[in-house]
């Protein structure tokens, strides 16, 4: 298992001026830095690529989907902007060597409403239409799109793994799979280990391992033993990344309902979370090996 830390833990938005985070993540002992692309033009990608190469870290790319990047919007201009953003992030992922680009690609975070069945179906049709296009682009780039279910307080479209499975079956691309975030799963799934097994190795492309309160992994009530056993059972070979929000922007705080500090410090959350993961997942691997 390789472990990663999202730039969201420390900075929002991530930008060239915060590249010192790369060295911090490396010094903490992580294998991967997950770069959240809120504004691609704030990042000197050539410089970042060199720094990452020099440190030996790997990169994964995640997205930030505000109301102007909604591929299921009733506004055609917004849908086009959303698809273009996905295209841009896929290109970035390919250039940075990220095997995945993940996030709630299907809609805008914070979009929660009761709408008619007709409107809901139309929005889903627009979503599928655009994800089919995105899947073709992902195929050309050799990057997998990870569809991330969010909890009911952050989206009204895809809340569960079952809904995500149904969506990607409609899209029908081997380059559109599922990203599971254990924070969201804790709210929406009956049993997280069973959900992991249901999604399975073929569809699960990425895991964001977040605690029940988005705080330090190991300090809440998630069944980490069950989660690690399930990942081992399906032969999961991807990354496990901590993604929480130490200094969210006003927009991000509102969308994700982050109103208080989630740990004593971002550094403490990242370092103690990694120590917990290394201990937990090593113990599980040793138990399975006999």
Which residues are part of the catalytic machinery?
148, 243
DSSP E strand stretches across the chain: 2-6, 32-37, 58-63, 100-103, 144-147, 176-181, 204-208, 239-242
CA–CA separation, 199 vs 177, rounded Å?
9
Decide: residue 28, CB within 10 A, 0-12 exposed, 13-18 middle, 19+ buried. Answer: middle
Structure token pair of residue 75: 């506004």
Give dist(CA 83, CA 87) in Å, integer.
6
Measured CA to CA, the distance from residue 138 to residue 68 in angstroms comes to 21
Phi, psi of 46 (to 5 degrees): -65, -40
> Which helix (DSSP H) or strand (DSSP E) does residue 154 occupy?
none
């Amino acid at each position: 298992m390789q472990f990663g830390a999202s730039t969201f833990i420390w900075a929002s938005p991530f930008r060239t001026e915060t590249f010192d985070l790369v060295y911090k993540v490396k010094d903490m002992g992580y294998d991967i830095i997950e770069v959240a692309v809120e504004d691609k033009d704030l990042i000197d990608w050539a410089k970042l690529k060199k720094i990452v190469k020099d440190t030996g870290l790997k990169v994964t790319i995640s997205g930030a989907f505000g109301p102007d990047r909604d591929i299921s919007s009733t506004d055609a201009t917004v849908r086009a902007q959303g698809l273009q953003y996905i295209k841009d992030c896929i290109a970035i992922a390919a250039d940075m060597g990220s095997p995945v680009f993940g996030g709630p690609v299907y809609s805008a975070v914070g979009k929660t409403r009761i709408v008619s069945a007709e409107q809901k179906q139309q929005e889903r049709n627009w979503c599928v239409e655009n994800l089919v296009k995105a899947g073709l682009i992902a195929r050309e780039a050799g990057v997998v799109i990870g569809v991330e279910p969010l909890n009911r307080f952050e989206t009204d479209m895809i809340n569960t793994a079952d809904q995500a499975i149904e969506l990607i079956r409609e899209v029908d691309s081997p380059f559109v799979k599922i990203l599971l975030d254990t924070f969201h799963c804790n709210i929406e799934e009956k049993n997280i280990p069973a959900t992991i097994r249901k999604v399975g190795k073929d569809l699960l492309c990425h895991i964001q391992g977040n605690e029940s309160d988005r705080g330090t992994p190991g300090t809440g009530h998630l069944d980490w033993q069950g989660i690690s056993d399930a990942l081992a059972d399906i032969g999961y070979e991807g990354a496990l990344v901590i993604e929480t929000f130490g200094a969210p922007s006003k927009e991000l705080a509102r969308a994700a309902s982050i109103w208080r500090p989630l740990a004593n410090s971002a550094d403490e959350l990242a370092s103690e979370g990694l120590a917990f993961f290394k201990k937990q997942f090593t113990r599980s691997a040793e138990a399975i090996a006999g």
